Amino acid sequence: VDHVGYILSKQDQHTITLLHVENGAGLDSDAIFQRSARILNGHHIGDERIRRETTWGINVASTITSYAEKSGFAAIAVGLDGVDQGILKRINLAGGTTSGLIERAEKISLWCCP
């Protein structure tokens, strides 16, 4: 989110969609959205440029890719680290969702940010 805020801070023509995929993991999308919006606001991106969307999907990477392509997004921005899943997670370069997006993103730019 910080990288997106930095890059798009002076690009007023672009909106930013915060997308949360509900998949049964029990994450609090409101808390995620609030934290993300605060970071974007810190880059002088007003709330009028920030959309919050929640959808449901079993495969998070596929759901994000489909949503982004159908919505005509220019890019998907994602962090390299996912939800901590123990030692197996720590030995990978990226979380499962990020790895899945790297495999699937063909028609859209993918920003992988640490």
Ranges of each domain in the chain? 2-113
Q: What would the CATH number be for the domain defined by 2-113?
A: 3.40.50.620
Per-residue CA distances from 50 to 8, 44, 45, 74, 83 (Å):
11, 12, 8, 15, 23
Q: How far apart are the first and last CA of the chain?
A: 10
In tens, the pLDDT along 6-53 reads 999 999 999 999 999 998 877 888 999 999 999 999 999 999 999 999
pTM for the model: 0.81
In tens, the pLDDT along 62-82 reads 999 999 999 999 999 987 655
In whole angstroms, what is the distance from residue 66 CA to residue 104 CA? 10
* Exposed / middle / buried, residue 29 (Cβ in 10 Å: 0-12, 13-18, 19+): middle
- Kindly state the tokens that stand for 62: 């596929």
